[in-house]
């Protein structure tokens, strides 16, 4: 699954957090520092789920099961504000 950030999502950095705004529907979401790093990685690279898991594992030294659970939660949050597109490989 390839994940991309939609063009209608604007983001603003506020200290170590990021505020996302979907300009089409007015929904917004606040990301913590880790979510901000992940959001930037996805926006810049348009990675697959496998790429994201490898990126998080390398940079945060977490077990793969925890990474997958956190990534699934992140994806669900982004879907709730209609911020991402998912494409099957």
Sequence spans of domains, the chain = 2-87
Which regions in the chain score pLDDT beneath 70?
Answer: 89
Whole-angstrom CA distances from 76 to 15, 61, 67 are 24, 23, 14
pTM of the model: 0.91
Q: Distance between CA atoms of 15 and 78, rounded to whole angstroms?
A: 21
Mind listing the pLDDT tens digit for each residue in 6-26? 999 999 999 999 999 999 999
- Report pLDDT for 27: 96
- 2-87 belongs to which CATH class? alpha beta
Q: Specify whether the CB–CB gap between 40 and 52 falls below 8 A.
A: no
**What pLDDT shows up at residue 79?**
96
Could you tell me which residues come within 8 angstroms of residue 10 by beta carbon, excluding any fewer than 6 positions away?
20, 21, 23
R_g of the chain computed on alpha carbons: 12
- What pLDDT is attached to residue 43? 97
């Amino acid at each position: 699954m390839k994940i991309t950030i939609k063009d209608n999502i604007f983001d603003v950095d506020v200290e170590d957090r990021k505020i996302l705004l979907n300009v089409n529907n007015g929904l917004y979401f606040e990301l913590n520092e880790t979510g901000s790093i992940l959001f930037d990685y996805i926006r810049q690279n348009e990675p697959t789920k496998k790429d994201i898991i490898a990126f998080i594992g390398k940079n945060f030294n977490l077990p793969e099961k925890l990474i997958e659970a956190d990534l699934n939660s992140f994806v669900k949050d982004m879907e709730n504000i209609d911020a991402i597109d998912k494409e099957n490989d």
